[in-house]
Structure formats: structure tokens, C-alpha cells
Amino acid sequence: MTSATTITRPALVSRVMTRLDWRSNIIYIAFVIVFILFAIFLGSDGFLSTNNMLNIVRQTATISIMAVAMTFVIAAAEIDLSVGSIAGLASVVTAMTTTQFGLVPGIVAGILAGAIIGAINGGLVALLKVPSFLVTLGMLGLAAGLAQWITSSAPQPITDRIYVMIFGGGDFGPVPGMLVWTVVAVALGWLVMNRTGFGRKVLATGGNPTAAAYTGIRTARIKFSVLLISGIAAAIAGMLYAGRLESGRFQWGQGDELTVIAAVILGGTSLFGGRGAIIGTLFGSLFMGLINNGLILAGLEVAQQQVVRGAIIIAAVALSRKK
Amino acid sequence: MAENELPPAVRMRSIVKSFGPVEVLKAVDMDIVAGEVHALAGENGAGKSTLMKVLQGVHQITSGTIQVNGEPVTIRNTADAERAGIGMVFQEFSLIPSMTVAQNIFLNREIRGTAGLVDDRAAENAARKIFDGLGVKIDPKARVSDLGTAYWQLVEIAKALSKEASVIVMDEPTASLAKHEVENLFDLIETLKKRGIAIVYISHRMDEIRRVADRITVLRDGRVVLASAVATLTAAEIIEAIIGRRLASDLVYRDRQLSGDAPILLEAKNIASNRVLKSVSLTIRAGEIVGLAGLMGSGRTEFARVVAGMDRPTQGTLSIDGKMVRFATPIAAQQAGVALIPEDRREQGLVLEHSVADNLTLPVLDRMKAGGFLSMRKLRDATEDLVTRFAVKASDPYAPISQLSGGNQQKVVVAKWINTNPRILVMDEPTSGVDIGTKTEILDIVRDFASRGNAVLFISSELPELLAVADSIVVIRQGRSDLPLVRTDIVSEEQLQLTIQGDAA
């Protein structure tokens, strides 16, 4: 009964290993091991350089932001498969609007695109009780198709310098903007998950929906909220793609949903709801970026990268599963 | 203090509750007085749970009035009930397993600290204070999933107290508790009474009711049939009120004229297994019901698992029809004609989301085929036959089985397995949580099954029913079995209880 009390406190590694539920913290172990292996074998290829480290952060920022929001979705025992498509759609909406109407309308339109799709997802799940898996699977195709349709498959360049600076192109001195976005998202996510009533309600809804409802929690509203948040976060990620790559394209974010979900699960959030580990999610996301980066430095082809990445994800998730 | 002049904590008058055309509560009156334990009894489906869910705001009353401390209240939802000071300790536990004790107690009423953020430490301190007041030791920082079920209940009680509940409803609170935990719960109930908290105590167990309750209300078919102080009642009177016209003497042994030279169907010799079993021997003849008695942890369930092929014995032999068998899997045991009705029907016996029909026909799907595909007609006929034969009370056999009362669920489990035509039926606590009426029906089903030349191993910790159904009883203590007791060996229930308690008593 007492063993559960020390989980969040730092302790000696041996104590951590024996007393903690190490399976739910597999991500930290995996992260350190892979990092050390890459440092040894790829050190001469520039793996450890500051620039490369910052690159990993830059490349994973969009995944991290979507994954923080996805942590809430999965903690509430729902899923959002449409995040990658929403990011693509938001990137073209924001790019087109910025070009036509200027900076502020462009930003508003981008976020609105994600909010609308998120609200539709949430509304269908909360009101019509359609499983989120099906709703967002449909939305994955719908949003991607929409993005391709309204742009006639053409890239939408962004020439607004301020936009590019805000959304990931710029640096704050030595600190890349993408790092700032990541830190803000993670800090906000952690605070909301662990220190607000909303976070508790999300965990309760995912942990035992009947008990949550008996306690007076409006679980339908919670489900709506997490999917709305996920849509908005995906839109911001799409805008970061647009800013960093100075254009909106329907392909941005394609397939990200799998990376995002893998990052969240690797981070220790239960796929069955009730648990949400924001810091774990950050490391899950960085882990995905780390592997990408290492495999590229190691000179693997894209096809080989996919195979290795898939195998590593399966292994880590299998290890993190409780008996 | 003129206590008599105080209005009762809760006064319910003419409560009617209908689900569609079905009237579940028919003008029920009930007074719950501060500082008393008020037992609420009745068969499954009599309306106990519905009455309490109405009070708790889970269901809304169709008509009637509820007063709390003399003030009329309208309870539309759980928040209304909470405001009126009514707390419930649910039978199906209602905690979030992934959260800590303190987080659960203050769920949706989180204590706020700086900047309106949730302050877990303050919640932990507040929780600790509640537990100290109750004299129980629980770490508020422990995760609920790491606690035993006895502690879950305490957390629920603490949750109710933290909301300043003046009425706490406990629905079968001892169902999943060990003996010493039950004692702790009774001590706790005393503490709560002294604080002036009223407790509604729902239970099937007469000994508990007579021990803790001050007053009792008995419901039958949605009506109050008995409302009285407990001290003036005998257990027989209460039982009579619960089951009505049926006689309590249904739990009486019926000699089914067994012939002593019927062939031995199942023989176990000196069975031992890794964990608890040291040496268990027994034989069951065709047509015989052998009772297996023993304390929790004595090895009853473990022996059943060996017979059903779920565990392999490390020593000893098992024979069916005089031929030695070694079951590698439960399927091998089933093929040899052994069926096990497990202890926990919700976990192991049923697919709760599936319909009565689906549950009934699941083990015999192979027999339901026509031309390689499942025949809807065969399925329907089989379902109708079983529902009638086993008197399963289901308004719709195609509705989820979770909507049935516990007793009827258990009938479905029994029907499902008997329908597979086993020759040896192993039943582990087949009537736990089942009302007396359904219990006698299940015992009749078992007798009938045995009389057709089959063997039954009937495991139960309820001696009256064991004495009613078993042709002989084997007592198992700390993994070892005694010689079987035939009917003439058993003088009284008390004496059998002493035998079971053995050296531990």
C-alpha cells in the first residue's frame, strides 16, 4: 500500500528500478539508452553537436504540440486520428488567408480551421456517441481531401516575414522559436493535466466513466473539450509547418497521427484512459525525433528508416505494457 | 435533548418509480433516522437498489415526496442528492483506479491553492484528517488501483464524509470483504452512528442485519412488507417477509434415494498443487451431490480449478469413470465432461454486454449450425427452451444481460453450462449474492441435474444451502480433506461449522 506513494519523487536509480513501476517509465530508459548508443556510434557524424540537438527539437516541435493535446484525448479514453490532416488543412488555410487578407486574419483562420474540425469531431463523439476512432478516421480523409481540393494540390507560399518569424522560422537569440513553442505547450499541458480541475475530470472520464458521471462530471462535455483542444493544437502544428517551411501544403502533417499516438503511448499514457503523462509524452516525442535523426545520420534509406522505426516503437510499446 | 421531535434525516413517502410500463417501486414509505443503521432487505429485483438510486439522484422518482431533515427536496441528479447530504457507497465501486486516494475523495470538488490551481497536498491533509477521525490507516497518496477492495470501500466512505453526508448508503458492503475486514467495517459503522450519521445498510445476510441494524425495511415486489425494529424480529421472521408465500423450509435436505452401488464418476486421490492444496481426496457417484466446505483460502477454489483442468496437480490422481485423466487444458476437461461454474460470474461467467441469448448459446454454438452457418432459428429455439426451462426472468432475451438481476444472471450461467451436457458439474459458490427465492430454484436445478445420473461438486461457504443440497460433505482445511461426512454424520449446522473452523477456531 505504501509502494505507490513514492512514484513522483526522485530516488536512486536502483530504488527507482525496484520500487517504481518501471514499465510505465520505459520511455526515459529507452531515451537514455538510445541517446548513449547514438552518441557512441554517431558522435563522429556530428550527432552530439549543439546544432544537431537543436535540429531534433525543431523537427519534433509539431509532433510534441500535437502529442501534448493527444495526451488529453487518450487520457479520456478517446483517440484522434485526424490530427495530421488537420495540420495540413490549417497550413493551407492560414497560408491562403495570410496572403489575401494579412497576418492577423491568417492566424485566426488557421486556428479556426482546427477548432471547427475539432468541434465537429467532439460533437459527434459527445452528442451522437459515435466512437472517436470512427469519427476521426473519417475526418482524417475528409480534412486531407479538403486541403488538397481548395488548393488544387498546389503549394501556398507565405511571404509575410512576421508570420514566418512567429511560427517557427525565427530564433530568440540562440533559442529557436520551435523550442519556445514546445516548452510553452508542454508547460501548459502539464499544468492543466496535473493542477486543474479540468485535468482531473479528463482523467476521471477516461479512468471510470460511470464513476465520473456519478460524481457529477459531465463526461460528454469533457470528451468534446479534449477533441476540440486536439483540433486546435493540430492547427497550430500545421501553422508551424507553414511558418518553418514558408508555405502551406496539403501534405504537411500527413501520417503524423501515428507518430503522435506512438509518442503518447511510449510516454506512459494508458491507451485505456485514466492516465496522462505530459512529460512522458514530451520524451516520447523527442524519442521519435531522436531515432529519425540518428537513422538519417547513420545513412539509412527512407525505407530502411521506416522499418527500424516501426520495430523500435513496437518493442517499446510491448515493453511498456502491463501484464 | 428531545430527539423524538426531530424530523427524520430522510423521509420518503409514496415513492413510485416506473421504467417504461414497469412499476419497480409502488408507493414506498421509508424513514431514515439520524444515528441509526437502517437495514434494507429484499430479494434481487424487489426494488432496493432502485429506491436507493432514486435517493441518490441516479434515477428520478415518478411520483412521491422526499424530505431531508423535514424540508421537502427535489432530487433530479447526483448533485442535488449531494447537496441534500446523501452519500452512497456503491456495490460496484465508483472510484477512478488510476487516481490517488485523495484525488478520488475530492474529485470534482478539488481543493484550490494559489492561482486557482489544484492543491493535492491540501487534499491529502484533508483526507488524512478524515481517516484519522475514522481510526483507519490509509495513505492518501496511494493510488487506488494499488489498494485492496476493503480499502476502496473506506475511500468511498471517506468521500461521502468529505461531502458532509448525513446519510450514507452501503450496498452489500461486506460482499467482497474478508472476515476481519468485516469486523473493521462494523467498528467503523459504530463510529459513524456516534457522529449522528444515518446508515442505510443493504444486505442479504441475516446475521449481519441482526448484528448491526437498528431498524429494518423489507421490500417485496416494490412494496414495503415489513418495517420494524430489528431487535424484536427473529431471522425466520425476516426471511419470511423477504420471500413471502414461499416457505423458508425450501432450504431443507431432500433425500433423493441414492443407491450406494451407483458407479463412481469422479475420483480424486491425494490431489496436491503448487499453491494451497496438500492432499484432497473425494469420490462422487453418479447421481450424487458432494458438498465441499471450508474457509476462504482453505483450497476449495484451487481444488475446483484442478478438476476443471485449469491447474495441474503436482501429486495425486484424478479419475473419471475409473480411468485416470490428466487434463492439459480446461478444454480437455470439458471434453471429458467436466464443467466449472466459476466463483465470480461477472468476471468469468458472462459476457455482460452481450444478450441473454448470446450468453446462453455461446458454449454450444457448434450445435447451432445448419449448412456450416449459424442457424438463427436453432439459436432462437435453444434460447426459448433454456429461458423457460430455467425460469430466467428476462423481459427481453436479446437485451444485454447486465440488465438482469444478480440471481437471474446466475441462472443464465448455470443454464448455459448444464446445457453443454456435462457429466460432472463443479459449482464454486453458485449462489453468492443471490436472493433466497432464486437460490432455492438453483438448488432444484442442481438436484434435478444430479438425479439424471450426473455428478455435482458443490462448493459453498453458506452452510444452510450446503446442508440442503449435498448428499455428503467433504470438509477441507488448509489444503487437506477429511473423510466425507454422510448425512447421518452431521448432527447440526453448528457442529459442521466447528469442523470447518478446525484448529483455527
CB contact under 8 A, A203 and B99: yes
Closest CA–CA distance from residue B156 to any residue of chain A (Å): 11
Q: Cα separation of A88 and A147, whole Å? A: 7
- What is the predicted pLDDT for the residue at B416? 86
For residues A311 and B102, give the distance between their C-alpha atoms in angstroms, rounded to a whole number: 40
For range A65-91, the mean pLDDT: 97
Closest alpha carbon to A78 in A264, A259, A253: A264
**B168 and B294 co-located in one domain:** no
Query: Which residues on B lie below 8 Å from A194 (Cβ)?
Result: 118
Question: Residue A212: inside a domain, yes or no?
Answer: yes
- Whether residue B215 sits in one domain with residue B134: yes
Verify whether the Cβ–Cβ distance A200 to B110 is below 8 Å.
yes
Chain B residues within an 8 Å CB radius of A197? 108, 110, 118
| Nearest chain A Cα distance for residue B113, angstroms | 10
Q: CA-to-CA distance for A130 and A124, rounded, in angstroms? A: 6
DSSP label at B369? Answer: E
- How many domains does chain A contain in total? 1
DSSP secondary structure code for residue A272 in this structure: T
Q: Kindly list the residues from chain A whose CB atom is less than 8 angstroms away from the CB atom of residue B107.
A: 200, 204, 212, 215, 217
- Helix axes A278-297 and A177-195, enclosed angle (nearest 10): 150
pLDDT at A181 over 70: yes
Clarify whether residues B273 and B239 are in a common domain: no
Optimal mutation site among A23, A192, A194, A214, interface B, most CBs of chain B within 10 A: A214
Beta bridge partners of B282: B268
Q: A200 — contact with chain B (CB < 8 Å)?
A: yes
Ramachandran angles phi, psi of A102, nearest 5°: 105, 180
Which residue, among B24, B153, B140, has the nearest Cα to B90 in the 3D structure?
B153
Q: ∠ CA A19-A23-A26 to the nearest 5 degrees?
A: 110
Order the strands of the B37-41 sheet from edge to edge: B86-89, B167-171, B198-202, B37-41, B215-220, B223-229
DSSP SS3 for B476: strand
Measured N-to-C along each axis, helices A50-75 and A219-244 cross at an angle, to the nearest 10 degrees, of: 160
Q: At A120, list the grid cell.
A: 465537429
Helices marked H in B166-284 = 179-194, 206-212, 235-243
In a domain, A2, yes or no: no
Which residues, 6 or more positions from A145, have their beta carbon under 8 angstroms from its beta carbon?
none
- The range of the structural domain enclosing residue B34 comes to 3-248
Residue B383 lies in a domain: no
> Taking CB atoms and an 8 Å cutoff, what residues of chain B touch A5?
139, 141-142
Indicate if B227 and B122 belong to the same structural domain. yes
* Residue B13's CATH number: 3.40.50.300
A203 touches chain B (CB under 8 A): yes
Choose among B58, B93, B146: nearest Cβ to A1. B146
Domain edge (last residue) among B214, B248, B282: B248
- B155 shares its domain with B280: no
Nearest chain A Cα to B83, which residue?
A216
Based on the domain organization, do B69 and B171 belong to the same domain? yes
Is A307 among the domain residues?
yes
Tell me the nearest-neighbour CA distance from A203 into chain B, angstroms.
Answer: 8
Tell me if residue B54 falls in helix, strand or coil.
Answer: helix
Q: Are residues B322 and B469 in the same domain?
A: yes
Domain containing A52: what range?
A: 23-317
CATH of the domain at A236: 1.10.3470
**Has residue A107 got a pLDDT over 50?**
yes
CA distance B69 to chain A (A): 23
Single out the residue of B171, B154, B152, B170 nearest to residue B162, CA to CA: B154
Rounded to whole angstroms, how far apart are CA atoms B252 and B50? Answer: 32
Confidence at residue B478, expressed as pLDDT on a 0 to 100 scale? 80
Of B97, B98, B139, the CB nearest to A1: B139
- Point out the residue among A196, A200, A274 whose CB comes nearest to the CB of B107: A200
Q: What is the pLDDT of residue A5?
A: 38
Is residue B216 in a domain? Answer: yes
What 8-state DSSP symbol labels residue A166? I
Give A201 to chain B, closest Cα distance, Å: 7
User: Same structural domain for residues B173 and B285?
Assistant: no
What's the structural domain count of chain B? 2
Is the minimum CB–CB distance between A270 and chain B shorter than 8 Å? yes
How far apart CA A41 and CA B437 sit, in angstroms, is 74
Both B162 and B280 in a single domain?
no
If you measure CA to CA, which chain B residue comes closest to A192? Answer: B117
Same domain, yes or no: B305 and B272? yes
B contact residues 50-89, partner A, Cβ 8 Å cutoff = 58, 77-79, 82, 88
Q: What is the pLDDT along chain B (505 residues), one digit of tens a residue?
A: 444 567 889 999 999 998 877 788 999 999 999 999 999 998 767 888 889 989 988 889 999 999 998 899 999 888 888 888 887 776 556 789 889 999 999 998 899 988 889 999 999 999 999 999 888 889 999 999 888 777 888 898 888 888 888 899 988 787 667 677 788 889 999 999 999 999 999 987 777 888 899 999 999 889 999 999 999 988 778 877 887 755 555 567 877 777 778 899 999 999 998 767 899 999 999 999 999 988 766 788 889 999 999 889 999 999 999 899 999 888 899 889 999 888 776 666 777 778 888 888 888 888 888 888 888 888 888 888 888 888 888 778 888 887 787 788 888 888 888 888 899 999 998 887 677 778 888 899 999 999 999 999 999 877 778 888 999 999 998 888 988 888 878 776 667 777 776 643 3
C-beta atoms of B96 and A201 within 8 A: no
| DSSP per position, B104-136 | HHTTTSPPB-GGG-B-HHHHHHHHHHHHHHHT-
The reply to whether B284 and B333 lie within a common domain is yes
Give φ, ψ of B353 to 5 degrees: -80, -15
> Residue B74: what pLDDT?
92
In b/e form, how buried is each residue of A138-161, taking b as 16+ CB within 10 angstroms? Answer: ebbebbbebbbeebeeebbebebe
Mutate to test the interface with A, among B93, B96, B117 (most CBs of A within 10 A): B96
CB contacts < 8 A (A, B) = 84
B222/B280 same-domain check = no
* Chain B from 92 to 111: CB within 8 A of any A CB: 92-100, 103, 107-108, 110
Let me know if residue B259 belongs to a domain: no
Block residue for cell numbers 549543439: A50
Q: Please check whether residue B161 lies inside any domain of the structure.
A: yes
Question: pLDDT at residue A11 above 80?
Answer: no
Structural domain contains residue B452: yes
With respect to residue B499, please indicate whether it lies within any of the assigned structural domains.
yes
Q: Alpha carbon of B82 to those of B162, B163, B472: distances in Å?
A: 11, 7, 52
**Contact assignment for B99 to A200 by CB distance below 8 Å:** yes
Residue located via cell numbers 538510445: A34
Least confident of A57-71, A163-177, A284-298, B276-290: A163-177
Q: Which residue type occupies B157?
A: I
Q: Residues B224, B12: contact at Cβ < 8 Å?
A: no
In a domain, B375, yes or no: no
State whether residue A168 is helix, strand or coil.
helix
**Could you tell me if A253 lies within 8 Å of chain B, comparing CB atoms?**
no
Is the residue at A196 inside a domain? Answer: yes
Q: Residue with C-alpha cell 485449469?
A: B310
Among residues B121, B183, B130, the alpha carbon closest in space to that of B156 is found at: B130
In chain B, the N- to C-terminal Cα span, in Å, equals 45
pLDDT at A18 (0 to 100): 44
Q: State whether A3 and B146 contact (CB < 8 Å).
A: yes
Let me know how many helices (H) and strands (E) chain B has, helices first: 16, 23
Q: Grid coordinates representing A40?
A: 557512441
Chain B CB within 8 Å of residue A19 CB: no
